[in-house]
Amino acid sequence: MILEFEQPIVDLEQKLKEMKELAKGRNIDLSSDIESLEEKILALKKETFQNLTRWQRVQLSRHAERPYALDYIFELTNEFIELHGDRNVRDDRAMIGGLGDIDGRSIMFIGQQKGRNTKQRQDRNFGMANPEGYRKALRLMKMAEKFGKPIVTLIDTPGAFPGLEAEERGQGEAIARNLKEMFMLKVPVICIIIGEGASGGALGIAIGDKVFMLENTWYSVISPESCSSILWRSWDYKEQAAEALKLTAMDMEGNGLIDGIIPEPLGGAHKDLKSMSETLKEFILKSLKELDKIKPEKRIDQRIDKFCSMGVVVE
């Protein structure tokens, strides 16, 4: 998958490939030309990805090759045991969770999971959880609290599933209960947006002591397309909507809505999963080290104060 703004880079990389094949096939010394082109490609990459528009970052967050929650979990942990079901209705495959081991420390991982192909996407409901998904997440959070295990949530969803059956089973109530309960958890909670962070679907597992966003992700009450369709009755204004929503990691940090931005490899997280996972691991372990020093009661107070101080009221 090649995004429109990536095409000039891809064209140069193709030229570089052809140049290397020519040099090898005809035994010609093109080392200086190859080095010059490699430098040009690197400079173009830096310029391109440092100056992405908000809509381009939204596109990058949805890249077909971008790592999903389980990709990170399997890369981060030495061992991962997935846990299933909400003990009420069924197991929601759009919401995953379980215990994983990082450097000898057991952590409860919870996250939304998308699919790579049509069959997987249908199985995972495109990363849109039903009420039982949020109830499963809460069950696992309570289990983590019972056994004193920290919680790490990985958020990547276009929103909670908006179907009639989801509403009948209490979608709004399930998300609202998660918000309430997450404020009161006695164990450290770290929330990381790894892709899309849309509306209450994201917020339902995003109340934490530390909230981070990967560099090329977005977090907003509504997607640019949906915003465009409401304001302009058309999806054609999604780029303008993205600019107005100010939904990127830089915007969120500037408005004091997150605790930090996790840098991605040049070109996006999908370019180097191992490097991205190492960076994630550093942020998680560093944050846990800080949070472990704080007493549970004080952590809860700080968590509540943090979210209550967000926003501006103009009378």
The token pair at 60 is 């990058």
Q: How much is the average pLDDT of 258-277?
A: 96
Q: How would residue 19 be classed by pLDDT, with cut points 50, 70 and 90? A: confident
pLDDT for 74 equals: 97
The rounded mean pLDDT for the chain is 95
Q: Tens digits of per-residue pLDDT, 120-137?
A: 999 999 999 999 999 999
- CA–CA separation, 72 vs 94, rounded Å? 16
User: Is residue 168 pLDDT above 80, yes or no?
Assistant: yes
- Phi, then psi, of 5 in degrees rounded to 5: -75, -10
Q: Tens digits of per-residue pLDDT, 186-209?
A: 999 999 999 999 999 999 999 999
In the chain, the percentage of residues whose pLDDT exceeds 70 is: 100
Q: Are 128 and 172 in contact (CB under 8 A)?
A: no
User: Is residue 20 pLDDT above 90, yes or no?
Assistant: no
User: Is residue 234 pLDDT above 80, yes or no?
Assistant: yes
- CA–CA separation, 65 vs 34, rounded Å? 28
pLDDT for 63 equals: 95
Residues β-bridged to residue 151: 108, 189
pLDDT for 312 equals: 74
